[in-house]
Amino acid sequence: MRILETAGYRCLSTTEPEEALHLLESEHPDLLLTDLRMPQLDGMEMLKRSRKIDPQMPVIMLTGHASLESAVAAVKAGAFDFLSKSFTNDELRLTVARALTKRRLELENLNLREQLQGIFGFENIVGQSAALQQVLELVRKAARSEANILILGESGTGKELIARAIHANSPRAAQPFVPVDCASLPENLLESELFGHEKGAFTGAINAKQGLMESAHHGTLFLDELGELPIGLQAKLLRALQERQIRHIGGTRQIDIDVRIVSATNRDLRALVTAGKFREDLYFRVNVIDVALPPLRERAGDVELLAINFLRKYGKSGEASVRGFEPEAMAALESYSWPGNVRELQNVVERACALADGEMITLAELPQQLRAPVQQPASAAPIDAESASKLTLKEAKERWIGELEAAYVADLLKREGGNVSEAARKAGVDRKTLHRLLNKHGLR
């Protein structure tokens, strides 16, 4: 131990194996050096019991020449390395340094993973609607696998947020997450971005460049807007995924890659396949598990949660702060259809916070399209006797019930000042049901 103490290490030593195990539990050392052959407890049992206390702690076995075969077996059982008892001072210092470096890197990776999960964990995705929770349950299971995932959804539904959560909760969390926007670059530049190029491969290629697929080695490659990928590049991407190899533009060397593909699109890839604009074999390659994100209009009750979450982000500006929404403003947010989904809601709340004069956001701070009063649709106008006589009894009954339902909901919401929660309570239904009725009858 004097050799290591001279090198600056703090060491704890004992000749009693049971006492050593107590020290592991109480002192939490970074490294264990143990003899392979001991009278009360041999090194293999010490290795086994120490790994139960701290599975990540490296263990170095010390052994005589006659026990090298056993030492090799110990390494296979999880020991970091072994040293014969004829080791030199330099051999000991070097082996210990290597073991501690491994320990430090593993702890850094563990901390990084915990930080990533804290930022991109599923619990940080705001929403309690049944539609969203069903998706998150699927994504939690899919994240643990190595399967390629295709995320489907309208623009603004949070596809990249889900992709980052998948990566942060996967076995590859400590490795790179590399996003690629397939719609932002022309085909020749996108090919260079994906696969890299050699110096002089084309005009302007003054230096060799590593591709994004290489950058994502051992990690996750996120292909955003996959439906916009040019047909010419689809074949090259498919080959790379099948062979798990790429070649730089202008190069001849095959480069091994290990990437997990998470893709996203707001387009109907099946329709593109039928139209000959997307390769069917690539579609099946990237779509091992498909995740369909619901639009915000189908996430009953989530608008208020999201709006409050964005308010916390944008509500503080200097000494002034916005702390809430007036009931009329929240009612307008909840009754709007949100064609731009979560991204549109985020922009609306940011705008309202910037324009607010007081602590509460009022209807006046919202865009004009959100301030329109609740109106009864034209289809809800009563049918006259002549029109009714042309309908079957069933058709007339369905129409009269629909008109009554639309008129009732519109009047109820008007009487409650646009407060969806209170209107749902008065109607004896939950908010989700009332939102469905508003959408059904085109009420705002």
User: 2-115 sits in which CATH class?
Assistant: alpha beta
**Paired sense of beta strands 149-152 and 289-292, if any:** parallel
DSSP conformational letter for 175: S
Percent of the chain with pLDDT over 90: 39
pLDDT attached to residue 306: 94
pLDDT attached to residue 179: 93
Percent of the chain with pLDDT over 70: 88
pLDDT attached to residue 319: 62
Contact 371, 335 (CB under 8 A): no
Determine the 3-state secondary structure of 180 from DSSP.
Answer: strand
Averaging pLDDT over each range in 40-49, 315-324, 346-355, which range is the top one? 346-355
Confidence of residue 377 (pLDDT cuts 50, 70, 90): very low
Averaging pLDDT over each range in 4-8, 28-32, 72-76, 253-257, which range is the top one? 253-257
**Model pLDDT for residues 19-68, shown as the tens digit of each residue:** 888 888 877 888 998 887 787 777 788 888 888 888 888 998 887 755 66
**Model pLDDT for residues 68-105, shown as the tens digit of each residue:** 677 677 777 888 888 877 788 888 889 889 988 888 77
pLDDT attached to residue 158: 92
pLDDT attached to residue 335: 87
**Model pLDDT for residues 202-213, shown as the tens digit of each residue:** 888 888 888 999
Handedness of CA 11, 15, 19, 25 (dihedral sign): positive
**Model pLDDT for residues 383-393, shown as the tens digit of each residue:** 555 565 667 76
What fold, for 296-372?
Answer: Helicase, Ruva Protein; domain 3 (1.10.8)
Contact 150, 261 (CB under 8 A): no
Confidence of residue 372 (pLDDT cuts 50, 70, 90): low
pLDDT attached to residue 388: 57
Residue 417 identity:
G
The average confidence (pLDDT) of the chain is 84
**Model pLDDT for residues 381-427, shown as the tens digit of each residue:** 455 555 656 677 667 666 777 777 788 888 887 777 777 777 877 88
Confidence of residue 380 (pLDDT cuts 50, 70, 90): very low
CATH code for the structural domain at 124-294? 3.40.50.300
User: 376-444 sits in which CATH class?
Assistant: mainly alpha
**Paired sense of beta strands 149-152 and 32-35, if any:** unpaired
The structural domains of the chain, with segments of one domain joined by +, span 2-115, 124-294, 296-372, 376-444
Please state the rounded mean pLDDT for residues 113-121.
Answer: 54
**Model pLDDT for residues 215-234, shown as the tens digit of each residue:** 999 999 999 999 999 999 99
Euclidean distance between CA atoms 348 and 426, whole angstroms: 29
Whether the predicted model's global pTM rises above the 0.75 cut = no
Chain CA centroid to CA 365, Å = 33
pLDDT attached to residue 72: 74
Please state the rounded mean pLDDT for residues 344-368.
Answer: 92
Please determine whether the domains at 124-294 and 376-444 fall in the same fold group of CATH: no
pLDDT attached to residue 374: 47
